Structure 1
Amino acid sequence: MDFALIMFVALVITGVIWLLDSLFFKSKRPKDAKLPVLTEYAKSFFPVILAVFMLRSFLVEPFKIPSGSMLPTLLVGDFILVNKYTYGIRLPIINKKIIDVRAPEKGDVMVFRYPKDPSLDYIKRVVGVPGDTVTYRNKRLTINGKPLATQKDGTYNYVGRGLNYVTTEQYKEQLGQHLHTIITQPGRPSIDLSQVDSQFPYRENCDYNDEGFTCKVPQGYYFMMGDNRDDSTDSRYWGFVPDRNIVGRAFMVWWNFDHLKRIGHMIE
């Protein structure tokens, strides 16, 4: 069950108990009588639950990075903070936008609800906004016909799935206002065509071949990719992210048990 929904249910239950006691039962108790246990718990927890619910729903929400798809920008085990109002104020639970602030920009690291299963939260980098033409061929990203500026930046090694040791080539990439690091694995294809969903919405906007793909981003949607380009399941495979699925912009690592130096690291 969605954590926000659990918080909302707890908020309603404790609030109703407190309200009923204030309106009906309080006046019937002797002044020196102790509060019923249930009422005492409700009055104690309601303000706390309300504060946490409001904070997570409208300001900042914590998430934990479960995979290496955003290496080296985000490490497995990073606990990150996500700004919930950067892209607009949304009603909790139903995620409906009620106040517009700004649209996601190319290069933003964004948390969103996975289009094929909205109960799951994913994190990737925005590489295409509505109207953009995104091309990725031979490990090179091109937006609207202009190849992104990249610069070789050595190698990056990490322990991958199955505890195998992976050696990658590391690059600095300029995407919009963001200068960030990406990695690619020599010898791996730009895309595994066998893993591409053939029925995602606006699939006709994309053209695939053995060298890569070109996709035209429809209005109201975004194209997402992981910084670990050859080990990321992203928009290449399951399609565009609708605006209604946006959760917020990731901006800081606040904890990592294995890498304490990352505490306070700002996400670019």
Structure 2
Amino acid sequence: MSVLNKYKIAIKGLIEFLKEPILAVLTALMISTFIISHTKIPTGSMMLTINPGDHLIVNRLPYYYRDPDRGEIAVFKFQGENLIKRVIGKPHDIINIIDNNIYVNSEKLDESAYLKSLESTYEFSRSDIQFPYKVPDGYYFMLGDNRRNSMDSRYFGPIPRENIYAKGGVRIYPFSRIGIVK
């Protein structure tokens, strides 16, 4: 057997040996890039729904084929960072804050499903946005659930649709709070 044939056999064996691990890595990379991804929550802006240090698996699929809906938790890019907030206003909505209540298109928004303690989470005395505020076409108005401790659309304005890339998904840590984030 020639040296060239020995090298061909060795290379073929190496390719066969590496084929499955390479395919597994490529598959994992594709899934984490286009379908789901992991995120660790750094701040308390979404308390009591999501706490600092929580680990989430977020779902990228829904926003490939539909737009975010009011009340959903969404992940978006802002100034190079990934932020997670709740969708409050959609394009053309008129957002108003009266007596610490949010109104969308003149209707009071019922947030009791996700704000556990309304007294401790509401505080709208500070804002860089003038209310009532009309959400521009192609933009979304995002708020953290912990209104006292959230830099959100009240300060940096609405978020362009193309910056919103994932829907809040499943909390995987801490183990005592595993479950779907709503």
| TM-score, normalised by the number of residues in structure 1 | 0.59
User: What's the CA shift string for 1:225-253, capped at 9, x where partnerless?
Assistant: 00001110000000111011012101210
CA contact under 8 A between 2:70 and 2:89: conserved in structure 1?
yes
Whole-angstrom CA distance in 1 between matches of 2:87 and 2:132: 16
Correspondence for 1:250 = 168
C-alpha distance 40-238 of structure 1, shift in aligned 2 (>3 A): farther
Deviation at 1:136, TM superposition (A): 1.9
Alignment partners' CA distance in 2, 1:141 and 1:124: 15
Q: Aligned in 2, Cα 1:41/1:229: closer, same or farther, shift over 3 Å?
A: farther
Residue 98 of structure 2 corresponds to residue 180 of structure 1 = no
Cα deviation 1:189-212 (Å, max 9, x = unaligned): 51424xx3xxxxxxxxx52xxxxx
Is the contact between residue 182 and residue 227 of structure 1 (CA under 8 Å) also seen in structure 2? no
Q: 1:29 to 1:126 in 2, by over 3 A?
A: farther
Tell me by how many angstroms 1:57 deviates. 2.2
Task: Give me the whole-angstrom Cα distance separating, in 1, the residues matched to 2:5 and 2:87.
Answer: 59
Residue 114 of structure 2 aligns to a residue in which SS? strand
Pairing partner for 2:68 from 84, 101, 104: 104
Q: Which runs of 4+ in 1 moved over 2 A?
A: 31-35, 38-46, 182-186
1:198-217 equivalence runs, <5 A: 206-207=129-130, 213-217=131-135
Query: Residues of 1 paired with 2:159 and 2:145: CA distance?
Result: 17
Task: Identify unmatched segments of 5+ residues in structure 1.
Answer: 1-27, 89-100, 150-172, 197-205, 208-212
Q: Residues 16-62 of structure 1: CA distance to partner in whole angstroms, max 9, x if unpaired? A: xxxxxxxxxxxx55257644xx9799756532331112111222111
* CA–CA separation in structure 1 for the residues paired with 2:66 and 2:23: 31
Name 1:130's counterpart in structure 2: 91
CA distance in structure 1 between the partners assigned to 2:77 and 2:5 by the alignment: 48
Alignment match, 2:102 = 141
> Deviations 1:161-198 (Å, cap 9, x if unpaired)?
xxxxxxxxxxxx25xxxx21255666x951424xx3xx
- 2:154 alignment counterpart: 236
Alignment of 1:162-173 (within 5 A): 173=111
Per the alignment, residue 141 of structure 2 pairs with 223
Q: CA deviation at 1:64?
A: 0.8
The alignment-based identity, stated in percent, is 32
Are the aligned partners of 2:41 and 2:52 in contact in 1 as well (CA < 8 Å)? yes
In 1, Cα distance between the equivalents of 2:134 and 2:5? 68
- 1:65 alignment partner in structure 2: 41
SS of the residue 1:181 aligns to: coil
Q: Distance in 2 between matches of 1:41 and 1:218?
A: 55
More helix, by proportion: 2
- State the distance in 2 between where 1:235 and 1:108 align: 15
> What SS class does the counterpart of residue 81 from structure 1 fall into?
strand
Match of 1:261 in 2: 176
Is this contact kept in 1: 2:143–2:154, CA < 8 A?
A: yes
Question: In 2, are the aligned partners of 1:111 and 1:124 still within 8 Å (CA)?
Answer: yes
Structure 2 distance, partners of 1:39, 1:216, is 58
